[in-house]
């Protein structure tokens, strides 16, 4: 009898632990969701104004960049590392208005802005008006991780970069014929100083990601608006306007006419609608971009991802350079309007 009792007591816990082990193994064996989305700017981007060669170049870059970001996430890299890595690819390309491809100010210089935010603890970093830092998004991350501040600007941000050993480049690094011609065209218009953008292209770049640990991260980098004056700063480095991430709701990166995105705190508004009114990611993004901004005559778009790995790519302009891979592995690469792809 004692032997039987001993065996009975032994089997039941063992069975329980075996069941627990099988359940945990099943859970651990399942792929955790990851997702990524990126944009290269929104605006008057129309098929009949772009050569087939240039379109193919943009599509190939967007496809390669989003695939690389997704690969990194699947290899368990952190969302912070992935967002910075993919934005740096875009900053190094002359295709986009960020880093190497940045537009010119009215005075013929370059002033770069960037920001990044981590959704787990709402940590954030930003830089504005930097002129010699090759990767503004990397500097924004350093502000977040290595300083007690959220935003540094101008000469102070440059000094911080030098102290931290950042890669600085001469002004010529940012010079491209394409952007110089855009400035010349802008200045040729007698009303240029009153217009927000000569060709209505808002060429910011941004990436949002959900990593394997469930953290959401958003980052944005830009050269601002062609012909900007007086140290103008748009929404890209403004946390809550051009960039926001909160694990309780979503991660957002915006592109558009920055003054409107600042006034309407676009990125934060989308997250807040999810957090406090139970809106889905798509509902929140569409309400803000297609209703609130349109009502105010604000042009632009957003990319966003939520904790489940759902993605939203929403814009109220003719086009937005964009790509995404959601938690189900569905890939989207697009340039033009909604009739093309999501």
Task: Name the residue with higher pLDDT: 218 or 177.
Answer: 218
**Is this structure's pTM higher than 0.75?**
yes
Q: What is the pLDDT of residue 203?
A: 76
Q: What is the pLDDT of residue 31?
A: 79
Tell whether the model's pLDDT for residue 241 goes beyond 80.
yes
Taking only Cα atoms into account, the Rg of the chain, rounded to an integer number of angstroms, comes to: 23
Among 257, 289, 298, 256, CA closest to 270 = 289
Q: What is the pLDDT of residue 338?
A: 63
Dihedrals φ, ψ of 307, to 5°?
Answer: -65, -20
Sign of CA dihedral 98, 101, 103, 107: positive
Among 300, 312, 110, CA closest to 196 = 300
Q: Are 128 and 210 in contact (CB under 8 A)?
A: no
Among 42, 100, 76, CA closest to 242 = 42
Beta strands in the chain (DSSP E): 35-43, 112-118, 124-130, 151-153, 201-202, 205-210, 216-222, 243-245, 251-256, 300-305, 311-315, 319-325, 331-334
Would you please indicate which residues are annotated as catalytic (active-site) residues?
204
- pLDDT tens figures, 248-306: 999 999 999 999 999 999 999 999 999 999 999 999 999 999 999 999 999 999 999 99
Tell whether the model's pLDDT for residue 310 goes beyond 60.
yes
CA distance 252 to 236: 11
- pLDDT tens figures, 200-214: 566 799 999 999 999
Angle ∠(218,142,150) on CA atoms, nearest 5: 70
Tell whether the model's pLDDT for residue 22 goes beyond 90.
no
- C-alpha torsion angle, residues 298, 341, 137, 72 (rounded to 10): 160
Q: Residues 6 or more apart from 196 whose CB is under 8 A from it?
A: 225, 257, 259
- pLDDT tens figures, 35-83: 999 999 998 788 888 999 999 999 999 999 999 999 999 999 999 999 9
Tell whether the model's pLDDT for residue 324 goes beyond 80.
yes
Q: Are 200 and 44 in contact (CB under 8 A)?
A: yes
Q: What is the pLDDT of residue 191?
A: 57
- pLDDT tens figures, 214-240: 999 999 999 999 889 999 999 999 999
How would you classify residue 134: left for phi > 0, otherwise alpha for psi between -120 and 50, otherwise beta? alpha
Average pLDDT for the chain:
89
Q: How far, in Å, are 27, 147, 217 from residue 206 at the CA level?
A: 33, 23, 11
Q: What is the pLDDT of residue 14?
A: 40
- pLDDT tens figures, 110-139: 999 999 999 999 999 999 999 999 999 999
CA distance 135 to 98: 9
Buried b (16+ CB within 10 A) or exposed e, 327-340: beeeebbbbbeeee
Among 275, 246, 100, CA closest to 170 = 100
């Amino acid at each position: 009898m004692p032997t039987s009792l001993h065996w009975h007591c032994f089997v039941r816990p063992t069975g329980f632990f075996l069941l627990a082990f099988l359940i945990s193994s099943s859970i651990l064996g399942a792929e955790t969701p990851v997702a990524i989305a990126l944009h290269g700017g929104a605006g008057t981007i129309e098929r009949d104004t772009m050569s087939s060669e240039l379109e193919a170049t943009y599509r190939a870059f967007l496809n390669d960049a989003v695939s690389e970001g997704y690969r990194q996430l699947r290899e368990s890299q952190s969302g912070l590392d992935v967002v910075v890595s993919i934005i740096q690819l875009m900053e190094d390309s002359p295709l986009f208005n960020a880093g190497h491809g940045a537009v010119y100010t009215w005075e013929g210089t370059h002033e770069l802005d960037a920001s990044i935010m981590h959704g787990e603890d709402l940590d954030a970093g930003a830089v504005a008006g930097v002129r010699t830092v090759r990767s503004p998004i990397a500097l924004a991350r350093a502000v977040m991780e290595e300083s007690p501040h959220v935003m540094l600007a101008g000469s102070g941000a440059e000094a911080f970069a030098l102290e931290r050993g950042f890669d600085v480049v001469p002004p010529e690094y940012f010079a491209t014929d394409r952007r110089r011609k855009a400035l010349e065209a802008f200045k040729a218009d007698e009303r240029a100083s009153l217009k927000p953008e000569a060709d209505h292209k808002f060429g910011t770049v941004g990436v949002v990601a959900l990593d394997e640990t469930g953290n959401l991260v958003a980052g944005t980098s830009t050269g601002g608006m062609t012909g900007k004056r007086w140290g103008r700063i748009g929404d890209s480095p403004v946390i809550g306007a051009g960039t926001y991430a909160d694990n309780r709701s979503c991660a957002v990166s915006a592109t558009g006419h920055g003054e409107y995105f600042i006034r309407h705190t676009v990125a934060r508004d989308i997250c807040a609608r999810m957090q406090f009114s139970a809106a889905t990611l798509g509902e929140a993004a569409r309400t803000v971009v297609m209703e609130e901004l349109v009502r105010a005559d604000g042009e632009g778009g957003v990319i966003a991802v939520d904790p489940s790995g759902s993605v939203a790519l929403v814009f109220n302009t003719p086009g937005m350079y964009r790509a995404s891979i959601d938690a189900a592995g569905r890939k989207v690469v697009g340039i033009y309007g909604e009739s093309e792809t999501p």
